[in-house]
A = this chain, B = another copy of it.
Amino acid sequence: MKRLTFWVVTMLVCITTFAQQALWGSAQVVSPEIHEDHTVTFRLRAPKAVKVQVVGDFSSTGVAEMVENKEGIWEYTTPKPLAPELYSYNFMVDGLKINDPANVYVIRDIASVTNIFIVEGERADYYKVNNVPHGTVSKIWYESPSLGINRRMTVYTPAGYESSGKRYPVFYLLHGMGGDENAWSVLGRATQIMDNLIAEGKAEPMILVMTNGNAIQEAAPGEASMGLTIPTLQLPKTMEGSFETHFPEVVKFVDKHYRTKANKKNRAIAGLSMGGFHSLHISKQYPDLFNYVGLFSAAIFPFKGVTSPIYEDMEGKLKVQFSKKPALYWIAIGKTDFLYKSNEEYRKMLDEKGYKYEYFENEDGHIWKNWRIYLTEFAPKLFK
C-alpha cells in the first residue's frame, strides 16, 4: 500500500505544476479578503510591476492605486466598508488589464472577463447560493421555423418541479445588447434570486425562461457552431423585429415541453435595456400573451430607419394592450441612466392616455446592480 502514499504525493505534484499559484500556501495571497466590517482588501503578487491599480465598481471613481510591500505584494484596502452587493473588478498592471489570479470566480460581460465577489447582507443575500431548495437550471434547444435555426434558451424550473406534478406560471426574462441566454443567470444572479425569493415565500414558484435575444445567434458565444469566436455587440438583427416576431414560437415550445399554466393570466415578460425594448414591443404586438410586463432601464423606440410590422402603429397597439388591462405594467429606471429621458417621455405618453403602470426609480444608471434590484422587486409581484 506504500505506492498509494506515493500516489497522493505524485498527484499533488502533478496538479500543482499547473495550478501551483492558486493552490499553495506560501506563494499564494488571499484576494479579495472581505473583512468582518465589510472593508475589502485586494492583493496581487507582482514584484516586477511599477504601477498596479484595482479597477471596478466598488468605488465611485472605479479605480484605486495599490501599494507594494516588501514581499512584492501589492495591496489596497477600501477606506470604508462596502455596502452589501455583488462587485466586479480587475487589476491594471503597468497598463495591462488582468484578472485576479487568486480569485477563480469570473464572469463574462460581452467581451470582458472580470472577477466577482459578494459582500453579504440585505438585498445581496438574494444573490448568494443559500442553503434553501434549489430549482433546476437547463440549457435547452428549440427549433425556430421563422429564424431558420436551432436556438438555445436557459430554463429555470422551481424546486419541486420534477416531483410535484403541478403546473406553473412562466416568467420570460430577456437580456440586453451584447448579452445572451446566459446573461441573466451569470450576471443577473437570476436563478439564485428566484431560489431565495421562492424559499422565503416572497415569490410564487414559477418557471423562468431566459432566451437569446440576438436573432442571428444559435446560442451564447463559444456555445454555438460559430465556435470560440470573439463576442461582439452583434447589433444586426437584434432590434429589427425578427426576435419579437418569432417570440410566440418560444412560448409555444415552453408550453409544449414544460408543465405550464398556458394562459395570459400566468405569463410575465420583462427585460433589461434591449430586453425591455423587446418586452415592450412583444407584449403590445401579442396583447393576449402576457399579463405582466416589466421594463428595466428599457430602450423604448426603434432605431431610426428600422422598419418592421412589429414597430408600426405603436399607439394603436398600446391602446389595444391597455384596453385589456394587464395585471401589471412595471417601469423601472435609475436616475443617471442614459435612457432616463426617453423613459420619462414614454411615461408621459402613458399618463396622457391614462394607461395604468407602476413606476420604480432608484439611484445609479445602466448597470447590472440595478437589474438585479429590479428583478428582486418585480418577481414578487407576479401571479398573485
Contact = CB atoms under 8 A, between A and B. Distances in A.
Contacts of A94: 46, 48-49
A255 interface: no
Given A22-B111, A112-B18, A97 B105 contact: no
Given A11-B338, A257-B162, A99 B96 contact: no
B104 A14 contact: no
A231 interface: yes
B230 A15 contact: no
21 contacts: A2-B304, A4-B303, A10-B338, A22-B112, A22-B113, A46-B94, A93-B93, A96-B98, A99-B113, A101-B113, A103-B228, A104-B231, A106-B106, A106-B113, A129-B223, A129-B227, A131-B150, A131-B225, A137-B138, A137-B139, A141-B159
A177 B50 CA distance: 38
Contacts of A98: 93, 96, 98-99, 101
A136 B134 contact: no
Interface centre among A2, A118, A140, A224 (most CB of B within 10 A): A140
Nearest to A10: B338
Given A97-B101, A116-B228, 16 more contacts: A2-B304, A4-B303, A7-B338, A11-B338, A14-B338, A15-B110, A19-B110, A19-B111, A21-B112, A23-B232, A45-B96, A48-B94, A96-B101, A99-B99, A129-B224, A131-B150
A147 interface: no
A330 to B, nearest CB: 21
Interface in A228-261: 228, 230-233, 235, 256-257
Interface in A116-175: 116-118, 128-131, 133-134, 136-141, 150, 152, 159, 162-163
A21 B159 contact: no
Contact of A93 (B7, B15, B96, B103): B96
Contacts of A97: 21, 101
Contacts of A11: 177, 273, 338, 366
Contact of A233 (B5, B12, B18, B111): B12
Given A129-B219, A233-B12, A113 B104 contact: yes
A136 B139 contact: yes
Contacts of A222: 104-105
Contact of A141 (B47, B109, B136): B136
A380 interface: no
A13 to B, nearest CB: 9
A334 interface: no
